[in-house]
Amino acid sequence: MAITNEKAFIAGNWKMHKNIDEAVELVSSLKQAEEELSEAVVVVIPPFTALRQIKKILEGSSLKLGAQNLFWEEKGAFTGEISPPMLKDAGCEYAVIGHSERRQYFGDTDKTVNKKIKAALAQALVPIVCIGESLEERESEQTINKVETQLRAGLEGLGEEDMSQVIIAYEPIWAIGTGLTATPAQAEEVHSFIRDKLEENYGNEIGSCVIILYGGSVKPDNTYSLLKEKNINGALVGGASLEADSFLQIAKQGIKAYKEKT
């Protein structure tokens, strides 16, 4: 079944934070509030070590589970890596792929991102594919070029059917963890470019339904104005997803914005 952007999609990427006890505490608080979140799709993306424990807590809950990365092989001598079947086994439905931190520190490239997307899809894991420009690229007006290249190379070889199972996250690198957020207009400019490209390449029906997330210093007080934009379907939240209160507020603001624009 195709994924659609009918609901606000709010995902919390915890990055390298939270031990198992802390993860359990945070997810338990979110679960208590889940009835208020039913009009959004809410995903927690903890470190690998907490996945299993969180899955147990989320049994029967509408909250979803995702992983922060994966390797494209199913199994073998790849010390330190985690495969898509392992993530499925741990209860994941989503996997972040090509986050800028992985591109910057761990050698992920558009080529490896492409392999990871295909490996995720082969196991029915929904890839959340991250793209975005650096400050230098923005200042030299290379934003659209950069995003276009990452989209083209990252999604190479994917058909319409595949694309109906992929989520894109636009995360300008200069806005990640810096407190600098793209303005709604700056973000929407890129999101609408991405939407146009997807419609051009995969047809209107598929392209118009793809979830395009914004990420980069999303906080409770900027979520509403970002998600009010036509092509911003949700948020990939870093720092503000580490506390139940702020993450819940973000989800509620997302729901409110979505209600008003649809």
User: Could you give the residue numbers annotated as active site?
Assistant: 99, 171
Q: Using a CB cutoff of 8 Å and minimum separation of 24, what contacts does 194-203 make?
A: 194/131, 194/147, 194/151, 194/168, 194/170, 194/231, 195/231, 197/148, 197/151, 198/163, 198/168, 201/155, 201/163, 202/160, 202/163, 202/164, 203/160
- Interaction pattern, residues 83-122, with ligand 13P; x per rule: CB under 6 A: ----------------x-----------------------
Residue 95 to residue 72: CA distance in whole angstroms = 12
SS3 category, 175: helix
Instruction: Please identify which residue in 154, 184, 207, 239 interacts with ligand 13P, judged by CB under 6 A.
Output: 239
- Closer Cβ to ligand 13P, 45 or 82, answer by number: 45
Instruction: Please identify which residue in 108, 137, 171, 188 interacts with ligand 13P, judged by CB under 6 A.
Output: 171
- Closer Cβ to ligand 13P, 48 or 201, answer by number: 48
Instruction: Please identify which residue in 7, 8, 9, 13 interacts with ligand 13P, judged by CB under 6 A.
Output: 13
Residue whose tokens read 């792929």: 97
Question: Which of the residues 215 through 234 are near ligand 13P (CB under 6 A)?
Answer: 215-218
- Regarding 23 and contact with ligand 13P (CB under 6 A), the answer is no
State which residue has the least CB distance to ligand 13P.
238
- Closer Cβ to ligand 13P, 165 or 241, answer by number: 241
For 47-102, give the DSSP string: -GGGHHHHHHHHTT-S-EEEES---SSSSSS-TT---HHHHHHTT-SEEEES-HHH
**Closest distance of CB 174 from ligand 13P, Å:** 10
Q: Which residues bind ligand 13P (CB under 6 A)?
A: 13, 99, 171, 176-177, 215-218, 236-240
